[in-house]
Amino acid sequence: MGIVAVCGSFHKTEIELMLTFAKEEAAKHSLEISEVIWVPGSMEVPLAIKRAFTNNSNLEGAICLGIIEKGETQHGAAMGHGVIKSVIDLQLEFNKPIGLGIIGPGAEQHHIVPRLEPHARAAVNAVVSMNSL
């Protein structure tokens, strides 16, 4: 058993680093990221998680890693709110925790690097904490 990591590829270099931190954190808790799914961006995260949970009932949970940058319009904010709402709904539907490791919405360039490690580790720790309740 393990968890799935759904990763947005739009910021692939940064997300690969987040995935490294997440794997390290999972190992500290004797947990394995047993599957990594790359999606185009954060908008596609909920569908990938739903498919993973539907196709593999042995998963203990999921983490999602991504970045939603601040743009010139409210597109990112609207998308981010929709993604987060969908992630919450999936937790309730499948009764499995999903650690949110998405930086933003509204992240500016100087926000990203300092948040890569803490967001990745927090996503894993959310799954660990919820599975121990």
pLDDT in tens, the chain (133 residues): 799 999 999 999 999 999 999 999 999 999 999 999 999 999 999 999 999 999 999 999 999 999 998 877 887 888 888 999 999 999 999 999 999 999 988 888 999 999 999 999 999 999 999 999 8
Q: Is residue 90 part of a domain?
A: yes
Domain count, the chain: 1
In angstroms, rounded to a whole number, what is the distance separating the alpha carbons of residues 63 and 87? 10
Q: Is residue 108 part of a domain?
A: no
CATH number at residue 71: 3.40.50.960
Q: Is residue 33 part of a domain?
A: yes
**Closest to 60 in 3D by CA, of 21, 95, 111, 16:** 95
Catalytic-role residue among 11, 29, 75, 119: 75
Is 75 among the catalytic positions? yes
Q: Is 132 helix (H, G, I), strand (E, B) or coil?
A: coil
pTM comes to 0.94
Q: Is residue 129 part of a domain?
A: no
Token pair belonging to 83:
């993604």
In angstroms, rounded to a whole number, what is the distance separating the alpha carbons of residues 94 and 80? 21
Query: Structural domain of residue 51, as residue ranges?
Result: 22-100
